[in-house]
Structure 1
C-alpha cells in the first residue's frame, strides 16, 4: 500500500480494497489530519487491530453489509468481550468508513445501519456539597490537596491539570482565570509527554472561584520554597512551571496521581474516589446550581452540548420535574399565567 493513496483517489470511484486495506489508508493518512489527540488516534488503531479487522478485515469495502457488522458484534459477545468494547468496535468501524462514504467510494456505511449495543451506564459516585466542603477543608493536610481542590472546583481532566503551567494562570485578573493549553499524556511504553489537549474544544479559559485562587496562591508559595530548597536541576529537563509537580519538579505521574487522590479521599471521606470523580462532581454541582448547559459544556471542554447532555443528562431530572410542575401551575391558572403570549 503506497503512501498518499487517499489523495490520489477520485471522488465517487468505488474502491477495490478490503476493509483492512482501507483502514491502513484511514489510520496512516486521514486520521493524523483529524482534530483528535495522538492518544485517541492510537486507541482507534488498537481497537481496529484487536476487535474489527480480525472479523471484517478481509471483506471488500464495497461488499461490507450490515450482516457482517452484526456477525462481528455477535462474535465479540460470544468471546466474552464487554458491551463497551463491542460498542467501541462498531464506532471505530463506522468512523473508519465515514470518509469513504463521504467521498462516494462506497454506497453506504454498513456500520451506520446496525443498531448499537446497549451499554449499562455507571453514573459513578459524585460528592454532595457537604462532602465537597469537607474535602476542600482538608487541602492543607495532604500532598495532593491542592490538585484535588482544583479538579473539584474546575472540572479539569486529570491530564489537563497535570500539564498545567503557572504561565497559564492569572490570579491577579478579575475574575482570575486558568487557560488550558496543554495536557500530560502517556505514550508508548508508558512514556509521559506534554501535548496539546484532547481536541480544539478542550483549549479553553476557565474563571476561577475565590477558593481556587486562595488554594493556588498558597500552593505557589509552597512550591517556590520547595524549588529554592532543591536548587539547580529542578524539573530534570521538564518545563519548570508545572503547577502540580513532584518534589523535584518533574510531572506527577498519571498513575501516582490516581493513587494519591484515592488515598486522600479514603482518609477524609472514608471511601476512594478517582480524579475523574472530581470532574463529575464539578459538573453535578454546576448543574445543581442551575448553571446553563452551554456554560457547563464550555467549562468542561466538551466538543458539544450534546456530549454534556449525554453524560450528565440524568442529573437534570429535578429540573425537568420543576418544568413539569411549572407547566401544571400555568395550565391551572396559577403562578406564571399572566395572560400574555
Structure 2
C-alpha cells in the first residue's frame, strides 16, 4: 500500500493482475481506478475529477481531450458495446486522437483538423485500418456531442473515409469446402467445422453457443447467436455479448447441419455421463455446444490449430476459422443469395460492410445481371 496525501486516495499494486489500483472519493462516491503504471492511474483519476467538476453542463471552451475523457468515463459505459470493444475505443482515443487534436476546442473542431490527424497517423506508419478506426471512434464521440448540443456538426463524418487496399483473402471453392467437410468427419471438431463453414459464424460466437440457442423443433431448425466466448487480459475465457448489436441474430440451419449437431449432442451426452459429477467446471451451467471432453469451454487458440490441422490433412493447406467464415460468404454469393441476406446472416453492422469486404466476389453476379437485361430488352 502506498501512502498518499489527504484527498489523493489509497494506491495499491495487484501482483496477480500486474496493475495499480487507486481508490478515491469523487463527488461523494468511492471510485476505483486501475492502470499499468502509477502515472496512468493518476492521469485517469485526474480525468474523473475533472469530469465531476464539469457537472451536467459542459463548458463552451471544452477541448477535444477533455470531452473525450468525459465520453470515455461517462458515455461509453452506458452503451451496449462489449467491454473489450469499449477498451479498444478508449485505447484508440488515448493513443491516436488526443495526442494530435486533443488541444483543439471542441466547438471549433473542423474537418481540416480531422484530415490533419489522419495524415499524421499515416506519416507515423500506421495502417489504413487503424486510421479508419480512429476516425470511426472520433465520429462516434462527436455524434454524442452533437446530440447534446455541444457541437453543431460532426467534423469526422464530413471527412472522406480512409481508402484501404482490398484484401480479398482466400476462400474455399465448393469442391474444396466439400473436401474439408469430408476430412472433418469423425473428428472431435466435426460439428464445429460444419457450423463455421455453413453458417459463417465468428469463432467466438460458435464457441459461445449453448444448446438452448438451437431450436431443433422449429421448421426449419434455427440457431440464435446471443453470446461469444472471449479472453480477458489474464488469458481466461469468459462469455460476453457479441461484437455488435446486429451480431445478435437468428439463422436458419441446413438440414445436414442439423443431423451433425444432433449426433454431436449424443456424443457429448455420453462424455458427460462417463465423466460424472463436476463435468463442465465453471461452465457447467452454460450447457455449451462445443466443449472439451470434460465439459469446459474450448480454448480459442487450440481451435485455430485443430481447424488448420484438419485442413492440412485434407490436402488443402492451413485454413483458419476466420477464412471459413469468408468462405461461407463466398459460397452464398456464388449461389446468388442476396447481399442483404448474407449481411444479416454474418451479423455485419451494415450491408455496406458486407459490400466492402465481399464486393470483389460480385463480378459474376453483375455479369449475369447484364446478360439478363440484354435478354429482356434486346433478346
TM-score normalised by structure 2 residue count: 0.81
Give runs of aligned pairs for residues 1-341 of structure 1, distance below 5 A. 1-3=50-52, 8-9=56-57, 15-238=60-283, 239-332=285-378, 334=379
Q: Distance in 1 between matches of 2:347 and 2:154?
A: 29
Once the two structures are TM-superposed, the CA of residue 21 in structure 1 deviates from its matched residue by 1.0
Instruction: Tell me, yes or no, if the aligned pair for 2:51 and 2:69 is still in contact at 8 Å.
Output: no
Write the distance in 1 (CA, Å) between the matches of 2:53 and 2:140.
Answer: 19
Q: Contact 2:183 / 2:313 at 8 angstroms: preserved in 1?
A: no
Greater alpha carbon shift after TM alignment, 309-318 vs 274-283: 309-318
Measured in 1, the distance between the counterparts of 2:93 and 2:315 equals 41
Q: Is the 8 A contact 1:177 1:205 kept in 2?
A: yes
Q: 1:92 Cα shift?
A: 1.4
Q: Is the 8 A contact 1:127 1:281 kept in 2?
A: yes
Q: Partners of 1:5 and 1:259 in 2: how far apart?
A: 51
Partner of 1:251, secondary structure, is coil
Q: Structure 1 residue 329: deviation in Å?
A: 2.6
Structure 1: gaps spanning 5 or more residues = 335-341
CA distance in 2, matches of 1:300, 1:311: 12
Higher RCO structure (Cα 8 Å, ≥6 apart): 1
Over 3 Å counting, the alpha-carbon distance change for 1:153 and 1:310 in structure 2 is same
Question: C-alpha deviations, 1:155-186, integer Å up to 9, x for none?
Answer: 11111100001121123433222121211122
Whether the 8 Å contact between 1:234 and 1:240 is mirrored in structure 2 is: no
- Give structure 1 regions of 4+ aligned residues with deviation exceeding 3 angstroms: 2-6
Task: Give yes or no for contact 1:155–1:278 (8 Å, CA) kept in 2.
Answer: yes
Q: What SS does the aligned partner of 2:224 have?
A: strand
| Structure whose residues are more often strand by fraction | 2
Find the aligned partners of 2:125 and 2:230 in 1 and give their Cα distance: 30
1:80 is paired with a residue of what secondary structure? coil
Distance 1:176 1:27, change over 3 A: same
Shift of 1:289: 1.4
Alignment gaps of 5+ in structure 2: 1-49
2:106 match: secondary structure: coil
Equivalent residues of 1:240, 1:249 under 8 A apart: no
Residue 36 to residue 318, structure 1, CA distance change in 2 (3 Å): same
TM-superposed CA distance for 1:141, in Å, is 4.2
2:246, 2:112 → 1: CA distance? 36
Distance 1:47-1:226 versus aligned 2 partners, 3 A rule:
same
Please tell me the root mean square deviation across aligned C-alpha atoms, in Å.
2.1
Is the contact between residue 97 and residue 134 of structure 2 (CA under 8 Å) also seen in structure 1? Answer: yes
Change (3 A) 1:240 1:83: closer
